[in-house]
């Protein structure tokens, strides 16, 4: 008998399954679940954007685009990045349109990692970082950020994690799952060390638009950083376009050319209708982004204040759409908490441990939901805790 | 009257959902409950918050009879009081649910509600067009409401997201 499993590469066999998957399976078949477990906007993509995609289909724009994406779109992205985040990239040489930020992270890893290279990953973090580092043949060296530092990477921690094999730092601000936003000063402290040790930074800034108290600072805008940064962004979160699968990466010419080599063989180009939609999003969608951000901000204030009120300590996240309260006061592990909460009160949250070190003892509550849903969820969580 | 950012924010929140408790609103904007209630009271006293109401899709209620018409009204404004006096004369009728002064081909846009087309026709011919300053009227009956005050009737837009995602 053929042992089918042996056909699977060891690296993949050893990859741990996503902890999120387990909760999805549990919650997917239940009725009446209020979900705070969703990592995407509850808003539907603006009609003008959807309409632009329809128009592109009507006009018959159904062929491949340039590997790096429509030049028109790259030009808009370059303007957007300059106006919004004060970083200037050459649309012809330094910007690649990708299939979501996810693919941008993947090609960035594959473009820079030699076997055994160490990539420092700041946890708790988005679930795909470590697997993607490992798939590219690298070693993920994780740093655990702490609630007492608002989950901000401390320069000393970074210093200690650096070895002669360290190639790059992978960092995400505003962060999923903690919502932590790094200020210019925070970034400066990190960049000093990065520059001193001549490292590269992969910056996942997919939540850049969703910053509620102070404007997002792109790490590439800090002096001496652009030449050593692969900047990742996209349309999924800020523009409420997750299902379109459209992101981009910006990097110095040499690195960008390397990423493009992989992209052209592995993907050819991002979806054409989605690229036309993104073009419209940049040309006319900013007002909608502002409106959505306003809504998220109010919901954030509501949920953080409510969680604290019912006894789940929660720092105020500066961005993204996640609150990351501590559940240590309940004496449960985060998986126990999430599972019981789902079974007893039908509220779905994501246990913090799936996001790596430092996540245990916390749950991720997404506030990309209507106020009605949030109020109901808080009511149920309160019942759960008081029992 | 010039309002603070907070006050405007409360108005924006209430305009979308008047049922939110003052406690929730307070949390949304980072005030306490008492402060929030005080602001809401002030906005009501100033008649900036005019009224709270419920949007109902009466078309779904089989045993409810109702017809709405929008009437373009041309009038001759009076010296000294302009359009206000005639607008007042019109909005006092309880059949009239809204009156707007418009730019363009006519002057007042009047929305009238009645039990039947007949009833509205009667109102227009007997009450509205007989007013001194009214020069002419054009009546349009509404056949179906799709969207009103920003809300879509019978929206089939569901939350299609998967319940748990990264
Ligand atoms: C931090 C972070 N990076 C990247 C992604 C993936 O984004 P995309 O949908 O553009 O692939 C997500 C989505 O959850 C995320 O939270």
Contact A141, A166 (CB under 8 A): yes
Res A227: pLDDT: 98
Q: Is A299 on the interface with B (CB under 8 A)?
A: yes
Confidence label for A167 from pLDDT (cuts 50, 70 and 90): very high
Confidence label for A111 from pLDDT (cuts 50, 70 and 90): very high
Chain B partners of A308 at a C-beta cutoff of 8 Å?
Answer: none
Is the pLDDT at A1 greater than 80? The verdict is no
Q: What average pLDDT does this structure show over A307-323?
A: 97
Is the pLDDT at A154 greater than 80? The verdict is yes
Q: Given an 8 Å threshold on Cβ–Cβ distance, is B164 in contact with A127?
A: no
For an interface test with B, give the residue of A290, A371, A374 to mutate (most B CBs within 10 A): A371
Is A126 near ligand 1, meaning CB less than 6 Å away?
Answer: yes
Res B131: pLDDT: 94
Q: What average pLDDT does this structure show over A243-272?
A: 98
Return the ligand 1 atom nearest residue A104 CA.
Answer: 11
For an interface test with A, give the residue of B28, B150, B164, B165 to mutate (most A CBs within 10 A): B164
Is the pLDDT at A361 greater than 80? The verdict is yes
Res A127: pLDDT: 95
Most confident of A18-22, A266-270, B151-155: A266-270
Q: How far is the CA of A267 from the centre of ligand 1 (A)?
A: 18
Q: What average pLDDT does this structure show over A194-213?
A: 98
Is the pLDDT at B158 greater than 90? The verdict is no
What is the rounded CA–CA span in Å between residue A322 and residue A5? 37
Question: ipTM of the assembly?
Answer: 0.89
Min distance A280 CA to chain B CA atoms (Å): 22
Question: Which residue in A has a C-alpha nearest to residue B19's C-alpha?
Answer: A372
Is the pLDDT at B156 greater than 90? The verdict is no
Q: What average pLDDT does this structure show over A229-238?
A: 98
Q: Given an 8 Å threshold on Cβ–Cβ distance, is B164 in contact with A35?
A: yes
The three-state secondary structure class of A121 is strand
Res A379: pLDDT: 98
What number of C-beta contacts closer than 8 Å exist between A and B?
Answer: 62
Region of A240 please: left (phi>0), alpha (psi -120 to 50) or beta: left
- The preferred substitution site among A107, A121, A176 for testing ligand 1, maximizing ligand atoms within 8 Å of CB, is A176
The pTM (predicted TM-score) of the whole model is 0.93
Is A183 near ligand 1, meaning CB less than 6 Å away?
Answer: no
Kindly state the percentage of chain B with pLDDT values over 90.
Answer: 85
Q: Quote the mean pLDDT of chain A.
A: 96
Q: Given an 8 Å threshold on Cβ–Cβ distance, is A37 in contact with B163?
A: yes
pLDDT tens across B76-115, in order? 988 888 899 999 999 999 999 999 999 999 999 999 999 9
Contact A257, A111 (CB under 8 A): no
Spell out the residues 6+ positions from residue A207 whose beta carbon is closer than 8 angstroms to its own: A172, A173, A174, A175, A176, A237, A238, A319, A320, A321
What is the rounded CA–CA span in Å between residue B12 and residue B48? 12
Spell out the residues 6+ positions from residue A149 whose beta carbon is closer than 8 angstroms to its own: none
pLDDT tens across A117-132, in order? 999 999 999 999 999 9
Res B149: pLDDT: 87
What is the rounded CA–CA span in Å between residue B10 and residue B19? 13
Res B95: pLDDT: 95
What is the rounded CA–CA span in Å between residue A158 and residue A166? 11
> For residue A381, how many C-alpha atoms fall within 13 Å in the half-sphere facing its CB?
27
A35, A372, A375 ranked by CB distance to B163: nearest: A35
Contact B35, B26 (CB under 8 A): yes
Q: How far is the CA of A102 from the centre of ligand 1 (A)?
A: 6
Confidence label for A251 from pLDDT (cuts 50, 70 and 90): very high
What b/e sequence results for A44-73 when a residue is b if at least 16 CB atoms lie within 10 Å of its CB, and e otherwise? ebbeebeebbeebeeeeeeeebbbbbbeeb
Q: How far is the CA of A342 from the centre of ligand 1 (A)?
A: 25
Distances (CA, A) of A82 to A86, A87, A90: 4, 5, 11
Q: Given an 8 Å threshold on Cβ–Cβ distance, is B166 in contact with A298?
A: no
DSSP string covering A272-323, please?
HHHHHHHHHHHHH-HHHHHHHHHHHHHHHHHHHHHHHHTT-------BTTEE
B20, B30, B164 ranked by CB distance to A348: nearest: B164
Q: What average pLDDT does this structure show over A245-258?
A: 98
Q: What average pLDDT does this structure show over B130-138?
A: 95
What is the distance between the terminal CA atoms of chain B, rounded to a whole angstrom?
46
Contact A327, A190 (CB under 8 A): no
Q: Is B163 on the interface with A (CB under 8 A)?
A: yes
The residue assigned the tokens 């900013």 is A286
Indicate the range of A6-10, A253-257, A260-264 predicted with least confidence.
A6-10
Q: What average pLDDT does this structure show over A67-93?
A: 98
Question: Which residue in A has a C-alpha nearest to residue B32's C-alpha?
Answer: A305
What is the rounded CA–CA span in Å between residue A87 and residue A223? 11
Cis before residue A102, ω within 30 degrees of 0? no
């Amino acid at each position: 008998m053929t042992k089918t499993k042996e056909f699977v590469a060891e690296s993949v066999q050893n990859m741990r399954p996503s902890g999120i998957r387990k909760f999805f399976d549990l919650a997917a078949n239940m009725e009446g679940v209020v979900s705070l477990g969703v990592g995407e906007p509850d808003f539907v993509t603006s009609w003008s954007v959807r309409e632009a995609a329809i128009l592109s289909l009507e006009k018959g724009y159904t062929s491949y685009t340039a590997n790096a994406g429509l030049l028109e779109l790259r030009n808009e992205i370059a303007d957007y990045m300059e106006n919004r985040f004060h970083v200037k990239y050459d649309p012809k040489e330094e910007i690649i349109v990708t299939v979501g930020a996810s693919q941008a992270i993947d090609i960035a890893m594959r473009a820079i990692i030699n076997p055994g290279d160490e990539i420092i990953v700041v946890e708790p973090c988005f679930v795909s970082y470590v697997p993607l580092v490992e798939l590219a043949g690298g070693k993920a060296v994780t740093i655990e950020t702490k609630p007492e530092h608002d989950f901000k990477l401390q320069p000393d921690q970074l210093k200690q994690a650096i070895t002669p094999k360290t190639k790059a730092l992978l960092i995400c601000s505003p962060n999923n799952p903690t919502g932590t936003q790094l200020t210019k000063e925070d970034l400066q402290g990190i960049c000093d060390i990065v520059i001193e040790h001549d490292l590269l930074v992969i910056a996942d800034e997919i939540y850049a638009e969703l910053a509620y108290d102070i404007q997002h600072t792109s790490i590439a805008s800090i002096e001496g950083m652009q030449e050593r940064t692969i900047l990742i962004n996209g349309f999924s979160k800020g523009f409420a376009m997750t299902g379109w699968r459209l992101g981009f990466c910006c990097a110095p010419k040499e690195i960008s050319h390397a990423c493009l080599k992989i992209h052209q063989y592995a993907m050819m180009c991002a979806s054409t209708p989605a690229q036309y939609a993104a073009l419209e999003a940049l040309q006319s969608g900013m007002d909608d982004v502002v409106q959505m951000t306003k809504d998220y901000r109010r919901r954030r204030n509501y949920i953080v204040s409510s969680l604290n009120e019912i006894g789940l300590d929660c720092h105020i996240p500066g961005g993204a759409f996640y609150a990351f309260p501590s559940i240590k006061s309940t004496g449960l592990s985060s998986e126990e908490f999430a599972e019981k909460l789902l079974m007893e009160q039908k509220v779905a949250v994501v246990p913090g441990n799936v996001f790596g070190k430092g996540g245990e003892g916390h749950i991720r509550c997404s506030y990309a939901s209507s106020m009605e849903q949030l109020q109901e969820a808080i009511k149920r969580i309160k019942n759960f805790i008081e029992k | 009257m010039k309002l603070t950012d907070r006050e405007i924010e409360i108005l924006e929140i209430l305009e979308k959902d008047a049922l939110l408790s003052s406690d929730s609103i307070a949390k949304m904007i980072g005030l306490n409950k008492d402060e929030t209630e005080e602001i809401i009271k002030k906005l009501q006293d100033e008649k900036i918050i005019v009224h709270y109401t419920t949007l109902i899709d009466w078309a779904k209620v089989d045993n409810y009879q109702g017809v709405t018409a929008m009437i373009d009204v041309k009038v001759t404004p009076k010296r000294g009081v302009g359009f206000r006096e005639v607008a007042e004369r019109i909005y006092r009728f309880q059949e009239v649910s809204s009156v707007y002064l418009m730019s363009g081909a006519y002057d007042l846009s009047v929305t009238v509600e009645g039990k039947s087309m007949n009833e509205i026709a009667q109102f227009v011919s007997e009450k509205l067009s007989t007013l001194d300053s009214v020069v002419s009227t054009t009546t349009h009956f509404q056949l179906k409401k799709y969207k009103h005050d920003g809300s879509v009737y019978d929206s089939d837009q569901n939350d299609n997201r998967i319940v748990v995602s990264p």
